[in-house]
Structure 1
Amino acid sequence: MIDTRALRPVLDSVPQRSNAEILQLRKQWLNPTLSVSYKEPLKIVRGEGVWLYDQDGQAYMDMVNNVCHVGHCHPRVVEAGQAQMARLNTNTRYLHDNIVEYALRLTATLPKPLSVVFLTNSGTEANDLALRLARAHTKARGVIVVDHAYHGHSPSMIELSPYKFNSKGGEGQAAHVGVVAMPDTYRGMFRRSLEAGRQYGRLLRSAMADLRARDVATAAFYCESLLGCGGQHVLPEGYLPEAYAAVHAAGGVCLADEVQVGFGRAGQYFWAFEGQGVVPDIVTMGKPIGNGHPIGAVVTTPEIAASFVTGMEYFNTFGGNPVSCAIALAVLDVIEEEQLQENARRVGAFLLDGLRDLQRRHARIGDVRGQGLFIGAEFVQDLDTRTPDRTRAKAVVEAMKAHHVLLSTEGPDDNVLKIKPPIVFSQANAEHFLDTLDQVLTAT
């Protein structure tokens, strides 16, 4: 736990307001599209490990925060940032050891030829920059994306995010974008079989043909290595090999969006794409890379990076600054030294087994799926029809919050429990969660 006593004069300078006052001030002065979680929003004032604390000191187990990857306020990460901030923070036009050390450490976790690093401030920036790289390399504009995917909030990424452009306020599918069906083997067009992955992968051929019919060549295929907004899906075996082969044959490049799922969350793999036996042309990272500090990254091949050298400088004022790199290095240290990838594998397997046991006893859980500490439990009204049960899923989330366990829902029908806690999540934490969920499912 971090000792904040020396910081109290600074922390106490901000007036402490009631939840109602904060909500009113948010409504009056902040972006009106900002949302809050839960029917009765929480005021969270402190975090430690897998726990969040409200203004009254009540602890809540955080089951949904994949940003604070190695735990809220991990002392090692906080100290790294504090020490570097007290010494220097500047930009990449000055030489500094931290950025080159981080590039060396990061690329050592990736397969060859992924060896050229660009640092950004977020996953959105990373995905946006990756689009520029892909277009510079291929001289094409078209992009294939998976239905219900989300790749960021910049204008270019909203265009690549069916989760946004097909929802309220969205402007629909742009002419340069092709959308393929989500490889959902529970409720999708191809159910669980040895061929489902390749069947879904073959859909890219017709999507690229549709783009060609509009005189749009394919520059890139964007795909999360595990599907987040789509409902916590693990890609079926053979999906990415089939999809990547089709894209490469058409002259495009393949991007693995690891913004939510990289850095050991997948348990068996440091990068979730490794589970498909492929090597992407571009990998993008965000969220867990800095454990809550704003940093993102793009890693690509020397050939693609060379295509980006056109005479126009790529400069990002804060991308790759010494403080961000010190924090990101500390995150890598913690993952390795505390064996958190192995923890994600072991505790994730325990959670999946426990959820499948609950599935056998509670008929509304239609499907349980996941990898490492990236897990979904889908609620349905009927096991035969697999009709989604959004109401039940939402009720479970609210009931779990009343028991001081924080969850959320995801998926096109918002009926999937989203389970992705910090990867310091222990077996004891998992046992508490499963016991609480069992109580809630029995009572609701």
Structure 2
Amino acid sequence: MLNAFDPGSAKLDQRTAALVDRRAAALGPAYRLFYETPLHIVRGKGARLFDADGRSYLDAYNNVAGVGHCHPHVVEAMARQAAILATHTRYLHEAPLAYAERLLATLPPELDHFMFTCTGSEANDLAVRIARAATGRQGVIVTENAYHGVTLATSGFSPALGLGAELAPWVRRVPAPVPGDGGGAFLDAVEAATQDLDKAGCGVSMMIVDSIFSTDGVLPDPGGGLLRQAADIVRNAGGMFVADEVQSGFCRTGDAFWGFQRHGVVPDMVSMGKGMGNGYPVAGLAVSRDPAAAFGNKVRYFNTFGGNPVAASVAGAVLEVLEQESLQDNARTVGRAFRDALSALSRRHDAVGEVRSAGLFLGVDIAVGPAQSKTAHWIVNSMRDRGVLLSTAGADGATLKIRPPLVFSMADVADFVAALEQTLLS
């Protein structure tokens, strides 16, 4: 795992070492921690996190708390509904219906149903089930270093999980589109993948794409119309096109509410999570009427906690904050200033390569010879020591991955860039 704590090599203080040992004993070996020296975070506010010693960290990575850590409007909605009713989803209730109606209004009219889950992994798992029911096919196409979840099905098409996560035999990978190359290689690979799945007797049920290609190295602008053309290829082969908006949705890209809208494509399904509940576990899948019927008329679906009254109330409060505080505009304006400041930094420092961004989702290539991933890892940990949190992306971990809460300010940009320049000069 990129940017992971290695318990065998770190020198920890007594309190941190004790917590690490307790965590390993209670949770087992599958869990991972960030940074060479793990953080013990106890509080959050806005774009800041605070550790057990009271030290402040500028959070430039956490896209879960999209409207800012512990936003008072979201916290109040959570507490208010939890004090009235917190139960499963087998009763009629106003909150999930009101939320589904409001959310669907942000999406293309072709997407007219919404199905609640608790996590993005569950949403993508549900997308596979619906695609297979609607198409009668099995195969799934993803990009080379994609991440779409941790269930049995979704881990089978999430190569970013690493060598220990075996891809399913019905999965085909295609290279992520490289900005500026015209997209021909990407489209040819999608076509070849559909044909290979046909030859294998699977057929293609769906292609699923994170429209900012975050784990492939943050590639937000592969070329106009490219995803629409890929969707056409998949549909012509009998499959469906799914936009995984878990990372790029909810105003993250600045130019649009949903990341796929920047590419002029209308998906057959849209999955979402993370920022949807600002830290509360709520997620879901928007789907068009015919696939929903092909699935729902055959299979009984329910989710005990997905879309419960508390989850729906929290998610509704997030939509209100996004609108009332104009956070899409903030993502666009601050994101552009952030990109410009990092581009200016790249002209002063050879270690900083290309800067790519859409709103408040940025990728910065590290451009120092064959040791790029080691340099990126060093930068991330040095920034952590300076009180700024970020991570890496791409199969080789040579791209800095920056995706702060949408309340990130111009002052926060200045703090980030100053810390990065100090790191590069050290």
- Which TM bucket (shorter chain)? over 0.9
Distance 1:18 1:115 in 2: 52
Aligned to 1:415: 398
CA distance in 1, matches of 2:337, 2:371: 26
Q: What percent of counterpart residues are identical?
A: 44
2:213 alignment partner, one of 221, 224, 227: 227
Q: Secondary structure of the equivalent of 2:183? A: helix
1:35 counterpart (32, 41, 48):
32
Distance 2:414 2:144 in 1: 34
Query: Aligned ranges for residues 260-271 of structure 1 at < 5 Å?
Result: 260-271=247-258
Give per-residue Cα distances to partners, 1:129-165, cap 9 Å, x unaligned.
Answer: 011111110011011111100100001001111212x
Letter in 2 for 1:176: W
How do 1:115-194 residues align onto structure 2 when only pairs under 5 Å count? 115-164=112-161, 167-171=162-166, 173-185=167-179, 192-193=180-181
- Aligned partner of 2:194 in structure 1 is 208
Shift of 1:328: 0.1
d(CA) in 1 for partners of 2:21, 2:421: 36
* Mapped contact 2:217–2:363 kept (Cα < 8 A): yes
Q: Which amino acid aligns with 1:162?
A: P
What's the offset of the Cα at 1:381? 2.1
Give matches, 1:267-346, under 5 Å.
Answer: 267-346=254-333
2:360 maps to a residue whose letter is: L
- One-letter amino acid matched to 2:16: N
* Aligned equivalent of 1:67: 64
CA contact (8 A) 2:156 2:165 kept: no
Please report how far the alpha carbon of residue 417 of structure 1 lies from its aligned counterpart in structure 2 after TM superposition. 0.7
Aligned residue for 1:324, secondary structure, equals: helix
Give the TM-score of the pair, scaled to structure 2.
0.94
Partner of 1:354: 341
SS class of match (1:227): coil
1:406 maps to a residue whose letter is: L
Residue deviations 1:231-271 (CA, integer Å, cap 9, x gap):
11114123201101101111110000000110000001100
User: Contact 1:202–1:242 (CA<8 Å) still a contact in 2?
Assistant: no
Cα drift, residue 170 of structure 1 = 2.6
User: For residues 295 and 141 of structure 1, what CA distance do their matches in structure 2 show?
Assistant: 27
Contact 1:145–1:178, Cα closer than 8 Å, also in 2: yes
Q: Deviations over 1:86-110 (max 9, x none)?
A: 0001222211110110011100100
Residue 198 of structure 1: how far off its partner (Å): 4.3
- C-alpha separation between the residues in 1 aligned to 2:299 and 2:149? 24
Which sections of structure 1, spanning at least 5 residues, go unmatched? 1-16, 186-191
What letter is aligned with 1:72? H
Letter in 2 for 1:286: G
2:373 is matched with which residue: 349, 366, 390?
390
1:403 corresponds in structure 2 to 386
AA matched with 2:165: G
**Superposed displacement of residue 311, structure 1:** 4.0
What's 2:7 paired with? Answer: none
Deviation sequence 1:355-381 (CA, Å, 0-9, x none): 110111111222110100000101122
The one-letter code matched in structure 2 to 1:381 is V
Q: Distance in 1 between matches of 2:183 and 2:357?
A: 16
Shift in Å, 1:42: 1.2
Match of residue 236, structure 1, among 222, 236, 244: 222
Check whether the contact 1:197–1:239 (CA below 8 A) recurs between aligned residues.
Answer: yes
1:201 CA drift (Å)? 2.2
Is the counterpart of residue 248 in structure 1 residue 235 in structure 2?
A: yes
Instruction: Name the residue aligned to 2:81.
Output: 84
Cα deviations by residue, 1:60-95 (Å, 9 ceiling, x for unpaired): 000000000000000000010000000001222211
Match of residue 433, structure 1, among 379, 396, 416: 416
> Distance between the aligned counterparts of 1:160 and 1:404, measured in 2?
35
**2:8 corresponds to which residue?**
none
Local SS of the residue matching 2:142: strand
CA contact (8 A) 1:227 1:235 kept: no
Could you tell me which amino acid in structure 2 is paired with residue 222 of structure 1? Answer: I
Q: SS at 1:234's partner residue?
A: coil
TM-score by length of 1: 0.91
> Structure 2 CA distance, aligned partners of 1:414 and 1:180?
19
Shift of 1:120: 0.2
Structure 1 counterpart of 2:11? none
Asked whether the 8 Å contact 1:264–1:344 carries over to 2, the reply is yes
- Aligned counterpart in structure 2 of residue 102 of structure 1, from 78, 99, 103: 99
Could you say what secondary structure the match of 1:308 adopts? Answer: helix
**One-letter amino acid of the counterpart of residue 429, structure 1:** D
Paired residues of 1:393 and 1:417 also in contact (CA < 8 A)? yes
Given residue 164 of structure 2, which amino acid in structure 1 is its aligned partner? G
Give the deviation of 1:215 after TM superposition.
1.4
Q: CA deviation at 1:388?
A: 6.0
Q: Distance in 2 between matches of 1:294 and 1:18?
A: 30
Q: Which moved more, 1:63-72 or 1:232-241?
A: 232-241
Aligned with 2:34: secondary structure? coil
Alpha-carbon shift at residue 121 of structure 1 (Å)? 0.3
| CA RMSD in angstroms, aligned pairs only | 1.3
Supply the distance in 2 between the matched residues of 1:223 and 1:338 (Cα, whole angstroms).
29
Q: Tell me, in whole angstroms, the C-alpha distance in 2 between the residues paired with 1:269 and 1:310.
A: 34
**One-letter amino acid of the counterpart of residue 223, structure 1:** V
